């Protein structure tokens, strides 16, 4: 499996730059890769829904009482990049590394950063094209390469979404209040 350096080096090679063996190598390629790799990876992980980045956890309720109108405070997981869902469904707010709610217990689905060696190949390809697009401007100042790899990134991203969606079964909708009403059911 690929490492952070391998992925960055491949992206640099795509745009005609020198490959790197570490983020501290001399040259513009390594400096740009060191600065952009992690922010671009985290943006790709959090701005799209990827099943391979989701964890579930019951949150630990804290003993302190929140000052913001909610009854309970919960500690968010230290590896959480973004909260996807809260169970039970209820009103909540997140401030810093805490979730506030009126529920006594909270379970969350959240996005975390998996180890790079565990990233699926379909995601790695989309990430590599995204990096090549960004590196093209910073390293070579070539807008044509930027546009080319931006298009390749979008195509690879569409393929990655499809591949990721096929890894997991669809979740059926169990609660159907609008169709239940048509069939003689009631909202109450």
Does 45 share its domain with 81? no
pTM of this prediction?
0.83
| Residue pLDDT, tens place only, 82-96 | 999 999 999 999 999
pLDDT for res 178: 64
Whether residue 99 sits in one domain with residue 60: yes
Structural domain containing residue 89: 53-112
- Are both 39 and 121 inside the same structural domain? yes
DSSP letters spanning 154-183: HHHHHHHHHHHHTTSPPPPP---HHHHHHT
What pLDDT score was predicted for residue 129?
98
| Residue 175 forms part of a structural domain | no
User: Do residue 57 and residue 108 come from a single domain?
Assistant: yes
Within a domain: residue 16? yes
pLDDT over 90 percentage in the chain:
80
Question: Are residues 119 and 159 both part of a single domain?
Answer: yes
Among 127, 110, 120, 130, which residue's Cα sits nearest to residue 166? 120
Band of the pLDDT at 29, cuts 50, 70, 90?
A: very high
Q: pLDDT band at 1, cuts 50/70/90?
A: confident
C-beta neighbour count of 63 within 10 angstroms: 6
Query: How far is 135 from 145, CA to CA, in rounded Å?
Result: 9
Asked whether residue 34 falls in the same domain as residue 63, the answer is no
**pLDDT tens column, 36-75:** 999 999 999 999 999 999 999 999 999 988 877 899 999 9
């Amino acid at each position: 499996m690929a490492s952070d350096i391998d992925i960055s080096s491949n992206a640099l090679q795509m745009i005609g730059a020198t490959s790197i063996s570490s983020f501290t190598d001399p040259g513009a390629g390594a400096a740009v890769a060191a600065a952009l790799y992690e922010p671009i990876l985290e943006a790709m992980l959090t701005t799209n829904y990827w099943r391979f980045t989701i964890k579930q956890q019951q949150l630990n309720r804290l003993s302190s009482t929140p000052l913001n109108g909610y009854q309970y405070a919960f500690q968010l997981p230290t590896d959480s990049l973004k909260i996807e869902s809260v169970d039970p469904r209820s009103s909540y707010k997140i401030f810093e590394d805490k979730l506030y709610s009126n529920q006594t217990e909270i379970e969350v689905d959240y996005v975390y950063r998996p180890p790079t060696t565990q990233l699926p190949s379909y995601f790695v390809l989309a990430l590599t094209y995204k990096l090549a697009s960004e590196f093209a401007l910073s390293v070579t100042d070539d807008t044509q390469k930027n546009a080319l790899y931006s298009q390749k990134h979008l195509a690879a991203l569409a393929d990655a979404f499809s591949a990721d969606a096929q890894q997991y079964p669809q979740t059926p909708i169990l609660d159907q209040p609008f169709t239940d009403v048509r069939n003689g059911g009631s909202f109450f």
